Amino acid sequence: MKQRIGISFTIPREPTFNNYWKWFTAEDLKDNLELVELSFEKNNTEDIDTCDGFIMSGGIDIEPSFYHSNADYENAPDAFLKERDLFEKKIFEYSQLHHLPLLGICRGMQLVNVLQGGKLIQDLGLSNSIHKKGEEDKEHEVMVNDDSLLKKITNASSGKVNSAHHQALDKNALGKNLKPSAYSVTEDKTIEGIEFNNKSGKGFMLCVQWHPERMKGKDESPFSKNIKQKFLEEIRKNKMEKLSVINPATEEVIAVINEDTKDSMAEKFKLLKKAQPAWAATSVSERVECIKKFVELIEKNKDELAITLTKEMGKPLQQSYNELNGAKTKIQFFIDNSEKWLKEEWIATEGATKEKIVYEPLGVIANISAWNYPYLVAINVMIPALIGGNAVFYKPSEYTVLTGMHIQKMLYEAGVHEHCFELAIGKGSVGAALLELPLNGYFFTGSYKTGKFIAGQIAHKLVPCQLELGGKDPLYVMDDVEDIEKVAAAALEGVIYNNGQSCCAIERIYVQEKVYDAFVNSYVEQAKKLVVGNPLDKTTEIGAVSRKEQVDFLLDQIDDAKKKGATVLHGGKKVDGKGYFIEPAVLVNVNHDMKIMTEESFGPVTGIQKVKNDEEAIALMQDTEYGLTAAVYSKNYERAEKIMKELNTGTVYWNCCDRVSAALPWSGRKHSGVGSTLSYQGIRIFVQPKAYHIRG
């Protein structure tokens, strides 16, 4: 696995910025290092999370408002690049959060000072004759402080450096915890290097005012060569845990991202906590405006988002587009309804004591999420939580972390306050670390096993805990259905959509004996026509299942059923070649001794069981630990309703299945969960009521 050095620059790289690339020879990079372009123009913040160290490079003056000054000064550029400053601020913050090596060069050093609260001399005036670049860099002598890291690295007390700047650090306004490491040997003693004063708990950081990447004699000078070698040595020391994102259709690693640690999560929590009150102080309508922009950004970026989703999760591309469209529709519900449900309510306006209810945010909440619908399931939580004035610590699944990063980027671009939406990047252990932080609520979507663990771990905190868990959702076909082919098509779609990986996918089918044969024949005929293959192909109907282990898990369920007497009428085999593909499986002669009829499958497989009558169907549908959804197909609503009333599930469907409406509560019973999202309940769960008794 390659280690990566992120270098900030502005496009084009040629000629100036290319010096940074040329500075690193093939020998320097051999074995396992590579250089990564970090450009504010590309705004590729997601690449920051893949780097093991950073160079913040030289360039145009920092926008003066960053250090509370104005733009009216000698030699000021025609235009500043505020976006570059903001982008590099993210680089700096990321390096500090994860203690990653950082080299600040010229402007990079000035930015570090500014970000640490320091100021700049905006123009060196007479000293420009020594410092400011003309045709070429200037050269001058520097003195190195004895007690500095720079001295240890260069092993030199003085030496020649190049110079190409007209701004400098203000000696009287150095940033927090920074100290100078070198001065120019001139009357004004311009600061030529800075480092952390107290280095405990800090990663390697060295900043210099000169340009080691392009200085004359750079291969010999300790002010270039030694700095580079030390920086490389520090990068190679980095032992951050890495998360590999694998395309399930090709088994290729498509990204390698740094995982969060307990320390970085604790830091992020502090940032969330600090940022949340100002976010909560904005009005609901302002927050709704941000969310509207977020929807526009989903639309604007839909092609890139859909491709990312398909590549990391394996669903057919069209279904990725469908998910994005579904997300927009769901969010629209929150946009349209939040103000109504969050505004204060006057209960008593007459008499001596007036009474009202005010809805206040919970604070900082955890949104721990699953990978199967990373937009649809996550927005049930993050959108109403943000609109409600909360800050959100979002743990995307390790299988859809790139999508999680896209979501964060778009929310910030839409105007959600800085640090009100932080990501916890990593596997289950990172999710578990969230449980140790003092969050004000936990909202989880995932498996029963993890949900139960989370509920147990956080019970003592006495904060809201909501769980949206798995299912083993049944579909019952009554003997009075008219168009058996249509019903079979609907059932099949319910089974295989999203490669069978929907919490409310149809996982077992019961068919009344009178229509059983016709149903099974039609179902199998249609299943045979399904196109399994590359999810990026337009014709594909079933892509790859998302996780490698899932293929074996499904094969085991099929095997177990076969051993107990089931017949496989179609599919059920692993598809040869690369990728986690399984043929859709149709099993008959199944019963509840078989795992395929009782254990959540989460794949394009199902058993079809013959039943004598409604009573038997009800008994079998109820014979489950889960209680998410259940579907009944019949001509007669009264007959279907009788059954729907008896079923212990959060959702029931008549003549439809596998669907979610933002206007209706989404909730599971028994092992399918606790609490509900969506609908007006799903707006109110992210706020707490405060009762006002007003007498006077």
**Chain contacts with ligand NAD (rule: CB under 6 A):** 368-373, 377, 395, 397-398, 427-428, 431-432, 445-447, 450, 453-454, 468-471, 503, 600, 602, 628, 668, 673
One of 192, 259, 468, 541 is an active-site residue; which one? 468
- The answer to whether residue 468 is catalytic is yes
User: Cα–Cα distances in Å, from 168 out to 73, 127, 217?
Assistant: 13, 10, 24
In the bound state with ligand NAD, the residue whose beta carbon lies nearer, of 213 and 468, is 468
Backbone φ/ψ region at 577: left (φ over 0), alpha (ψ -120 to 50), beta: left
Supply the minimum distance, in Å, between the C-beta of residue 81 and ligand NAD: 37
Residue showing the smallest CB distance to ligand NAD in the complex = 431
Supply the minimum distance, in Å, between the C-beta of residue 463 and ligand NAD: 15
In the bound state with ligand NAD, the residue whose beta carbon lies nearer, of 507 and 614, is 507
Query: Phi and psi for 469 in degrees, rounded to 5?
Result: -115, -165
In the bound state with ligand NAD, the residue whose beta carbon lies nearer, of 58 and 446, is 446
Supply the minimum distance, in Å, between the C-beta of residue 230 and ligand NAD: 37
Provide the 10 A C-beta neighbour count for residue 519: 23
CA 122 to CA 74: how far, in whole Å? 8
In the bound state with ligand NAD, the residue whose beta carbon lies nearer, of 159 and 428, is 428
Closest CA to 338 of 375, 379, 288: 288
Supply the minimum distance, in Å, between the C-beta of residue 266 and ligand NAD: 16
In the bound state with ligand NAD, the residue whose beta carbon lies nearer, of 105 and 424, is 424
Q: What angle do CA 395, 400, 405 make, to 5 degrees?
A: 65
Contact 510, 621 (CB under 8 A): yes
Which amino acid makes up residue 501?
Answer: Q
In the bound state with ligand NAD, the residue whose beta carbon lies nearer, of 124 and 366, is 366
Query: Phi and psi for 378 in degrees, rounded to 5?
Result: -75, -35
The b-or-e profile of 587-611 (16+ CB within 10 A means b, else e) is: bbbbeeebbbbbbbbbbbbbbbbbb
Element (H, E) at 476: strand 473-477
Using DSSP's 3-state secondary structure scheme, residue 453 falls into: helix
In the bound state with ligand NAD, the residue whose beta carbon lies nearer, of 142 and 243, is 243
In the bound state with ligand NAD, the residue whose beta carbon lies nearer, of 31 and 549, is 549
Closest CA to 235 of 374, 444, 34: 34
- The answer to whether residue 641 is catalytic is no
Structure tokens at 1: 């696995």
Supply the minimum distance, in Å, between the C-beta of residue 282 and ligand NAD: 29
Supply the minimum distance, in Å, between the C-beta of residue 447 and ligand NAD: 3
Closest CA to 213 of 13, 31, 42: 13
Indicate the angle between helix axes 284-300 and 317-342, nearest 10 degrees.
170
Give 575's DSSP letter: P
Supply the minimum distance, in Å, between the C-beta of residue 505 and ligand NAD: 8
One of 207, 465, 503, 504 is an active-site residue; which one? 503
Supply the minimum distance, in Å, between the C-beta of residue 526 and ligand NAD: 24
Which positions ≥6 away from 217 have C-beta within 8 Å? Answer: 224
Active centre residues (catalytic): 468, 503
